Amino acid sequence: MSAAHRDSEQKPQRLHTPQWVSLVSGGIAGAVEATITYPFEYSKTRVQLLDNSAIKTSNPLRLISQVAKQEGLGALYTGCSTLVIGTAAKAAVRFLSYDTIRNSLADDRGVLSPARGILAGMTAGAVESVLAVTPTERIKTALIDDAKGARQFKSSLHATKVLVQRHGITELYRGLVSTAMKQSATSAVRMGTYNVLKEALKSRGIKTNVVTTFGTGALAGVVTVYATQPFDTIKTRAQGVQGATIGEASRSVIRDYGIRGFWKGSSMRLGRLLLSGGIVFSVYEEVSAILSPSTHR
């Protein structure tokens, strides 16, 4: 047996997730997650926007209950279709970008270091913010903001047409910088934390299954909320119906709520990311295993 052949037998084989699998699995995971957790996203966005309605509470479950009673259950899904489509698209782009970068940065055993995991997540977040997140977040935020008052928008499509007619196509990219900052930070922390926890389980010989994956994803979601909430709050203010620059959005938060206002809506976002972190990673891993079982042995 030649030395080269012996080396090839001893060297561990790297298994790469095919790009099409990352794209499809990410899209399905994003759509499922967004549909289940949307009421938390609705309540978080409504609290972050200066609300002049009769409903005054920062408790996510109470706000959801009051909105359902006063405005109907359907109100909790205002802008939902936009977010579901956007979340499916951004999750597909995120996992495709992340897995592509991961494949190039991982070592011979397929292990990604914590620093490289954060770098891969940050890059994936920047890509998804440009390709998918900013336009859908702009429409979703404008719809929720509009629902508090005049209700000038009839649907996601109508809101898109009105905003483009009034201000041009660039209006859909209002808040791009704040969104890119938020998505890069969120993806870096979320994907980086998930990668660290996943590798820690592997090193201890703990087999991954739906339960461990859900728990790991949920914990990554908790860390993500408190580390990146200020970016999310600024982004929301920047993408209201009237729109605002990063500076104007930041000053308005301080004026209305003080420094603590940058963490406004964190309890709502925690409720969503706690669930979404577990759901999105669990669905992604399960769908990937079905589509490409050889890479999830």
pLDDT tens by residue, 97-109 = 999 988 888 887 7
Average confidence score pLDDT of the chain: 83
Q: What was the pLDDT predicted at 272?
A: 75
**pLDDT-derived band at 150, boundaries 50, 70, 90:** low
- Of the chain, the end-to-end C-alpha distance in Å amounts to 28
Q: Is the pLDDT of residue 8 over 90?
A: no
17-47+58-296 folds as Mitochondrial carrier fold (1.50.40)
Mean pLDDT over 6-33 rounds to 76
Q: What was the pLDDT predicted at 7?
A: 47
Among 193, 88, 176, 92, CA closest to 126: 176
Q: Is the pLDDT of residue 250 over 80?
A: yes
**pLDDT-derived band at 60, boundaries 50, 70, 90:** low
Q: Is the pLDDT of residue 199 over 80?
A: yes
Mean pLDDT over 130-137 rounds to 85
Q: What was the pLDDT predicted at 28?
A: 96
Q: Is the pLDDT of residue 9 over 50?
A: no
Q: Is the pLDDT of residue 12 over 50?
A: no
Mean pLDDT over 31-37 rounds to 89
Q: What was the pLDDT predicted at 217?
A: 93
Q: What was the pLDDT predicted at 128?
A: 87
Q: Is the pLDDT of residue 186 over 90?
A: no
Contact between residue 174 and residue 239 where contact means Cβ atoms under 8 Å apart? yes
Pick 251 or 297 by higher pLDDT.
251
**pLDDT-derived band at 278, boundaries 50, 70, 90:** very high
Mean pLDDT over 223-249 rounds to 83
Q: What was the pLDDT predicted at 283?
A: 95
pLDDT digit string, tens, across residues 151-166: 788 888 888 898 899 8
DSSP per-residue string spanning the chain? --HHHHHHHHSPPP-PPPHHHHHHHHHHHHHHHHHHHHHHHHHHHHHHS---SS-----HHHHHHHHHHHH-GGGGGTTHHHHHHHHHHHHHHHHHHHHHHHHHHS-TTS---HHHHHHHHHHHHHHHIIIIIHHHHHHHHHHHHHTTTT----SHHHHHHHHHHHH-GGGGGTTHHHHHHHHHHHHHHHHHHHHHHHHHHHHTTPPP-HHHHHHHHHHHHHHHHHHHHHHHHHHHHHTSSS---HHHHHHHHHHHH-GGGGGTTHHHHHHHHHHHHHHHHHHHHHHHHHH-GGGG-
Q: Is the pLDDT of residue 50 over 60?
A: no
Pick 195 or 110 by higher pLDDT.
195
Q: What was the pLDDT predicted at 279?
A: 93
